[in-house]
Amino acid sequence: MRIVLFAAFATLLIGFAPVEVKAADGNVELTNQEWSFDGVFGRFDRQQLQRGFQVYREVCSSCHGLDYIAFRNLEAIGYSEDQTKVLASEYIIEECCDDQGDIFDRPAIPADYMPNPYPNDQFARASNNGALPPDLSLMSKARHGGPDYVYSLINGYEEPSAEVEAEMMDGMYYNVAFEGNQIAMAQQLFDDLLEYSDGTPATAEQMATDVAAFLHWAAEPKLEIRKQTGVRVLLFTFVFTVLAYFLKRRIWADIEH
Amino acid sequence: MTGILLAMSYTPHVDYAFQSVERIMRDVNSGWLLRYMHANGASFFFIVVYIHIFRGLFYGSYKSPREVLWWLGVIIMILMMATAFMGYVLPWGQMSFWGATVITNLFSAIPVIGDYIVTLLWGGFSVDNPTLNRFFALHYLLPFVLVGVVVLHIWALHIPGSNNPLGINATAKDKIPFHPYYTAKDAFGLGVFLLAYFTVVFWFPNAMGHTDNYIPANPLSTPAHIVPEWYFLPFYAILRSIDDKLTGVILMFGSLLILFVIPWLDTSRVRSATFRPIFKVLFWVFLADCVMLTWCGAQLAEGLPLLLSRIGTFWYFFHFLVLMPVVGWIETPRPLPTSISTPVVAKPAE
């Protein structure tokens, strides 16, 4: 019995330790949100992901790429095949090359990946005061705190105190969620910046939550199937373990130990 | 098994490795499951092996007549470390690249031939495409070597037979057939292991990885804080506890190699710590020391963590080099039971 308790304890320890959001550098403040995809049975809220995609498309995508997401992937957040075709066709892809060897433009199809806003990193830096806007495909897994980080960062713009402001570098903005508190990106989301197609009031907070959820989907698109498979696998393993326990007791019953 | 399937979809090239791993995660059928099982499988392999090693240290399983068995075990651990390290490089994220840079650079501390060895490991003059290619090849090869040594380990076990918690020689009447007794017991143990393993694979698949490894490798941008996987942290703490690079490297490798000689360092003839009152306490202190070093390895090497890793490193070697031989002489072990069945029969049935 002791070993069972020990294993349960170890599982708890391993399982729950990473949930605490670790502030990497003391001066980073993250706000924890409740996400529909948290927990054992967590699922994405398709409506929220579509709103988040709208925020990405109308705001973030002017500087940030989403290199690992193809238009066909958008079917997973609730768009129909026809809708993804229409969405894709609004983008222009530079294709190499026609019969004459010239680069030509064509509308995107669902198999295409989201076009990056910049042709190369140097161009991106030159357009952004020397800073390179990172690709957002994996952002939610590439920072401590994941979606909480993304949400906190977008919402983390505050007026710095006078002494902090004096030390700020030119062209940098004060952000409580960013390591070092100086970020090259200016605040992007303001109330009613866009109009949600589902009629949800577009507060800055709502948009930040939605786009963070969308980016978490973009980073971990298999989250739902992972958790669903996990429930089944764990139930099976649990039954197996219980049976194995009683089998062991029965087999060992005639042995003094 | 997961590795063979992953290798089918992986591209060992600096420009495509990261991307091909993401393709596995997104487009390969069940690719996400294969990769999460593979990465966390490595971590869980280390968890059980570390438990196994500490159990061996507690019950004196390294002592005569089981030295060869113990040495093969140490070789297995070192091979596992090499395999895991090279595997971690393959996704070619930031931690892959910079971890590879830090660890391969350790060899440059060796006098005279150090630089030559590093160039050989890299296949060039920095961690680059040839490094990735050879690490991929070796990461595929080493598990087969590992299986070979595991077979030898089991073979070596079958000559003296298993040790037992009492650490005394078992007689025929103390023994029971492996099947059905141990197959049944191990089936339950496997179940408990899988419960923990699957919980992590399906709900916390990235908990034991580093977030920076989801950023593609960039040789021009060093992460603020390079940390290895958790199973290397105590050794990393030992490495960083000394300012001098060569000494740090010697201590780090020494901390592994010292395990080869503990059959001679432990002078006590009693195997099991159950009957060794002083050694028993020291065992738990040593375990706590290793846990502390693990924590130190994850912190920046400055201030309190640095001080603690120095104390921890000192204690690590002090335990093996001084305490083990000395305690063996001065300690009076409690009387050993005459046979394994004696204490069982003596105590009232449960």
Tell me, what's the pLDDT at A22? 39
Task: Using pLDDT thresholds of 50, 70 and 90, give the confidence band for residue B346.
Answer: low
Residue A34 Rama label (left phi>0; alpha psi -120 to 50; beta) = beta
- The answer to whether the CB of A194 falls within 8 A of the CB of A45 is no
Option in B176, B180, B195 nearest A241 (CB): B195
Name the one residue in this structure whose structure tokens are 């390969």. B28
Distance from CA of A143 to the nearest CA of B (A): 5
CATH number at residue B55: 1.20.810.10
Residue B170 within a domain: no
B119-130 average pLDDT score: 93
- Does B188 touch chain A if contact means CB atoms closer than 8 Å? yes
Option in B26, B33, B195 nearest A221 (CB): B26
B160 and B181 in one domain? no
Task: Using pLDDT thresholds of 50, 70 and 90, give the confidence band for residue B50.
Answer: very high
B148 and B5 in one domain? yes
B187 and B157 in one domain? no
Give me the number of domains chain B comprises.
3
B302-320 average pLDDT score: 95
Q: How far apart are CA B106 and CA A1, in angstroms?
A: 46
B130 and B109 in one domain? yes
Residue B219 within a domain: no
Residue B150 within a domain: yes
Residue B108 within a domain: yes
Provide the mean pLDDT of chain B: 91
Q: Do A238 and B195 make contact, defined as CB atoms within 8 angstroms?
A: yes
B1 and B150 in one domain? yes
Option in B196, B214, B344 nearest A11 (CB): B196
Q: How far apart are CA A207 and CA A194, in angstroms?
A: 9
B151 and B19 in one domain? yes
Residue B252 within a domain: yes
Name the one residue in this structure whose structure tokens are 């229409």. A86
For an interface test with A, the pick among B35, B199, B201, B206 (most A C-beta atoms closer than 10 Å) comes out as B199
B291 and B155 in one domain? no
Pairing status of strand A104-107 against strand A173-174 = unpaired
B249 and B198 in one domain? no
Domain that holds residue B183: 177-205
B240 and B135 in one domain? no
Residue B290 within a domain: yes
pLDDT tens string A198-234:
999 999 999 999 999 999 999 999 999 999 999 999 9
Q: Is B186 a catalytic residue?
A: yes
Q: How far apart are CA B84 and CA B312, in angstroms?
A: 24
Q: Do B32 and A226 make contact, defined as CB atoms within 8 angstroms?
A: yes
Three-state SS at A106 = strand
- Four-CA torsion A233, B50, B118, B148, nearest 10 degrees: -70
Tell me, what's the pLDDT at B333? 87
B324 and B182 in one domain? no
Q: How far apart are CA B148 and CA B285, in angstroms?
A: 34
Q: How far apart are CA B301 and CA A146, in angstroms?
A: 26
Enter the tokens of residue B272.
Answer: 């099991």
Residue B93 within a domain: yes
B71 and B160 in one domain? yes
pLDDT at A2 over 70: no
CATH number at residue B304: 1.10.287.980
The interface predicted TM-score of the complex, written ipTM, equals 0.87
pLDDT at B347 over 70: no
B193 and B250 in one domain? no
Residue B97 within a domain: yes
For an interface test with B, the pick among A21, A216, A245, A254 (most B C-beta atoms closer than 10 Å) comes out as A245
Tell me, what's the pLDDT at A1? 43
A172: enclosing H helix or E strand: none
